[in-house]
Structure 1
Amino acid sequence: MNQTKNSMEIIGNHIKEASSELEQEMVNEFINKIKEGNKVFVLGAGRSGFVAKMFAMRLMHLGFNSFVVGETITPALSSEDTVVAISGSGETSSTIKLAKTTKENNATLISVTSNRDSTLSSLSDNIISVKSEFSNKKIDKTKIAPLGTLFEITALVLLDSIVSQIMKTKDISEEYLEEMHATLE
């Protein structure tokens, strides 16, 4: 079998397995905390940071006041705000530091991680646990792209699926999203 096709099948099967283990109650709470936030900040390091940026963009398309932590136009955090932290291991030092700052400012911290026993999880008000290579020791990482690929891809699919759920509950059309899409590209 072709290595590329094999990797895609492993990733696709992993996403199906992860979706079957998803706790819908935690997803609903996650969405409620986003809706309750005055501003929504997203953060992550490395490739998790790219997933965070994509989620922040989708939130903006949905009409949320969303920001990516670390960008020059990111405003101050207040106790009425929600922070979404994305980290597969839940132990990334920069993410932990920002999570602690979130709690010091009495803001809501929600996380997407594959490690429920992590420092990030212990600081979070809500956790969506995502099955990944960090949590699935049966996966032969030599058969897929390295260094967290399953976590990032699964987190991206999860967060886009959450966007879809928000669209449905807020009765937001694809046309509305198109109107909110960047025109200065």
Structure 2
Amino acid sequence: MTHGASVKNMMSLMASRIDAIARQISSGEIDAFLAAILDAKRIYVMGAGRSGLVAKSFAMRLMHMGLTSYVVGETITPAIGEGDLIVAFSGSGNTKTIGDIAETAKSLGVKVALISSNPDSRIGKIADFVIKIETQRDPVSCDAHEYEIRQMLGEHRSFAPLGTIFETSSLMFGDAVISTLMDMTKTEESDLKRRHTNIE
């Protein structure tokens, strides 16, 4: 197999895995999350590492929607308070810095939403809304696919830092949420474009 074929196989495998993950997400959890976003005065988004990059992408799209959104940790992010929603992206649900912030927000009367593979986690236990991004996998018979799945999930020793499935699924989930919110609020793509940066 060529390297190019390996890349294409990996993309196809990831797409099929994300499709399976999407089918397992609870529609009720999604409905509650959508309602929380629309009800919130302001939306604060956070995550660490690669999950933090996904969080920033989601915050940007919320801004494009015309919603008031901030990224936790940025210098211009204002104080949080009652009526606000904080959305945490954390595969483990136990990331210390994210957990500390979530607990502080909760103590201030803020609603907490968690996007995670582990609802039964430190953040999951205090969250008002939890979206479970299931990353467990079914056994496969093909050795090549077994190797590729291990790479995606970060289970292979040489690729332990990778584990892309949670972050990729979360990114797609966030974009799907924005598309659905656009339908719910009758927002046109032209409305988003008007809010897109024009000083790059």
Normalised TM-score (structure 1): 0.94
SS of the counterpart of 1:91? Answer: coil
8 Å contact from structure 1 (residues 10, 144) kept in 2: no
Q: What are the residue-to-residue correspondences of 1:1-185 with 2, within 5 Å?
A: 1=1, 2-132=5-135, 135-136=136-137, 138=139, 140=147, 141-144=149-152, 146=154, 147-185=162-200
User: Counterpart of 1:127 in 2: which secondary structure?
Assistant: strand
Give the Cα–Cα distance (whole angstroms) in 1 for the partners of residues 189 and 41 of structure 2: 24
Structure 2 unmatched runs, 5+: 140-145, 155-161
Q: CA deviation at 1:24?
A: 1.3
**Which string of whole-angstrom CA distances, capped at 9 and with x for unpartnered residues, describes residues 32-56 of structure 1?**
1111111100000000000000000
Poorly superposed stretches of 4+, deviation over 6 Å: none
* Identity percentage of aligned residues: 36
Q: What is the Cα-based RMSD across aligned positions, in Å? A: 1.5
Tell me: CA distance 1:97–1:136, structure 2 relative to 1, closer, same or farther (3 Å): farther
State the alpha-carbon separation in 2 of the partners of residues 137 and 73 from structure 1: 44
TM-score, structure 2 normalization: 0.87
Q: C-alpha distance in 1, partners of 2:49/2:198?
A: 27
Q: How far apart in 2 are the matches of 1:144 and 1:75?
A: 36
Contact in 2 for aligned 1:6/1:143 (Cα 8 Å): no
Cα offset for 1:20?
Answer: 1.0
Letter in 1 for 2:39: E
C-alpha separation between the residues in 2 aligned to 1:12 and 1:64? 30
Deviation readout 1:4-47 (Å, 9 max, x if unpaired): 12211221011110111121111111011111111100000000
Residue identity matched to 1:90: G
How far apart are 1:145 and its partner, in Å? Answer: 7.2
